[in-house]
Amino acid sequence: MPKGYWVSVYPTIEDAERLDAYNKLAGRAVTAMGGRVLASIGGRVEAYEAGIPERVVLIEFDSFERAVAARASAAYQEALAELPEGFKRDFRVIEGLG
């Protein structure tokens, strides 16, 4: 069964401290659903071609279905409520190749 991944791209993070409450709750929600953080904000980024050196978070789950369920979970919804107003990111759930 193909793995599932959360991919989040953060165009700008003006005040990382404002994300603390979200990060704590989101971390618990991800762990509870078996997610593993493979890359996170603060990691180095080299952008090529039309790429923009934005911060990326990559989280792996045992299946695509598990990744979707984690996003829909009550625990993660609680975390989302803590994102600062006006905060922007590009978030998607993708299926691995197998």
pLDDT digits (tens, 9 = 90+) for 25-54: 999 999 999 999 999 877 788 889 988 778
Report the distance separating Cα 78 and Cα 3, nearest Å: 24
Q: Residue ranges per domain, the chain?
A: 4-95
Q: Report pLDDT for 55.
A: 81
Name the one residue in this structure whose structure tokens are 């700008």: 12
pLDDT for res 16: 74
- Band (pLDDT 50/70/90 cuts) for residue 89 is confident
Q: What is the pLDDT of residue 18?
A: 74
Confidence of residue 56 (pLDDT cuts 50, 70, 90): confident
**Under CATH, which number does the domain 4-95 receive?**
3.30.70.100
Helix (H) or strand (E) holding 91: strand 90-95
